[in-house]
Structure 1
Amino acid sequence: MEIGSKVVATAAIKMALTSSRQEETMLKRVLLEQEEVKAVAVDYGGEFITSVGKIVERAVVASKREGVIKDTHADEGAVAGATREAIAQIMPKALGLNVGGKIGIARHQDHVSVAIFLGIGLLHLDEVAIGLGHRAVHD
């Protein structure tokens, strides 16, 4: 089976939905062994508007640190762009509110996907949202 954007996007979503570091580690290993997909997840939280830059930065830094992407402008730009796309999808629900959640990043060859899962706090009425971005990067 050819691994394409659907598999990589699914991997990013699964990483964003993990509930513990142990689950992240296990899923990373399974994705790498079974599908040759490199993946990482990173937590974040805070007031949404002021967190946007931090979310993008955390996604890029975690991706480089875990070897999901190389230390190149093209790879960093792909993750940053996919992260911004995911943020744009959840922005209408999150503007002006506190958020907390996880970013999942996955890559196989030239496919890079970023999924953002977040809880949006409004008093005791919590909302949830998922945003997904994808980019193609050539080695």
Structure 2
Amino acid sequence: MNQQESKFIASAAIRLALSPDRDAERQLKEQLAQEGIKATAADYGGEFITSVQKVVERAVVAAKREGVIESTHQAEGGVAGAAREALSQIMPKAVGLNVGGKVGIARKGDHIAVAIFFAIGLLHLNEVAIGLGHRAI
């Protein structure tokens, strides 16, 4: 897989994480499937620290449910590792605050990307952020 393909897979995960609703998400997944990319997304929300484990679990469950990965230790660990990497990029902004958003997961061949979109809330002041992780499985 060349650098352009890895970049496209990362872009696909980010676009899924930013999709505004289930219809847009479904259309994007169909478009990506035509290009040989398996993809899925999952919503989440809650206090950041208590949500970390739930976000990682939802990413792995969604990827297995939608056939993006097989039910193997390597594949599940790849998704979990990429999700934790994405979460760690945003942690300094989100610790102690409520977060909500979507996880986007895209895979082609041995490469998988996990993008996490965060809306980080404090009263009526909101911040937004995206974390991205990549693994080869």
- Common topology (TM > 0.5): yes
Q: How many residues align?
A: 136
Aligned to 2:10: 9
The amino acid that maps onto 1:54 is K
Name the residue aligned to 2:59: 59
| Structure 1 residue 40: Cα displacement | 0.3
Where does residue 25 of structure 1 map in the other structure? 26
Q: Does structure 2 conserve the Cα–Cα contact (< 8 Å) formed by 1:104 and 1:116? A: yes
Deviation at 1:4?
Answer: 2.4
Matched to 1:14, the amino acid is R
Give the secondary structure class of the aligned counterpart of 2:54. Answer: helix
What is the letter of the counterpart of residue 136 of structure 2? A
Q: Secondary structure at the match of 2:125?
A: coil
Q: What is the rounded CA distance, in whole Å, between the counterparts of 2:75 and 2:133 in structure 1?
A: 14
SS of alignment partner, residue 50 of structure 1: helix
| Alpha-carbon distance in 1 for matches of 2:105, 2:26 | 13
Instruction: State the Cα deviation string for residues 75-132 of structure 1 (Å, max 9, x = none).
Output: 0000000000000000000000000000000000011000000100011110000000
Distance across 1 between alignment mates of 2:110 and 2:5: 9
SS of the equivalent of 2:13 reads helix
Encode CA deviations 1:52-88: one digit per residue, 9 max, x unaligned: 0000000000000000000110000000000000000
Paired with 1:27 and 1:106, the residues of 2 have a C-alpha distance of: 11
SS at match of 1:19: coil
Structure 1: segments with no counterpart, 5+ residues: none
2:68 partner amino acid: V
Which residue in the other structure is 2:131 paired with?
Answer: 131
Give the TM-score taking structure 2 as reference length: 0.97
Unmatched segments (≥5 aa) in structure 2 = none
Letter in 1 for 2:134: H
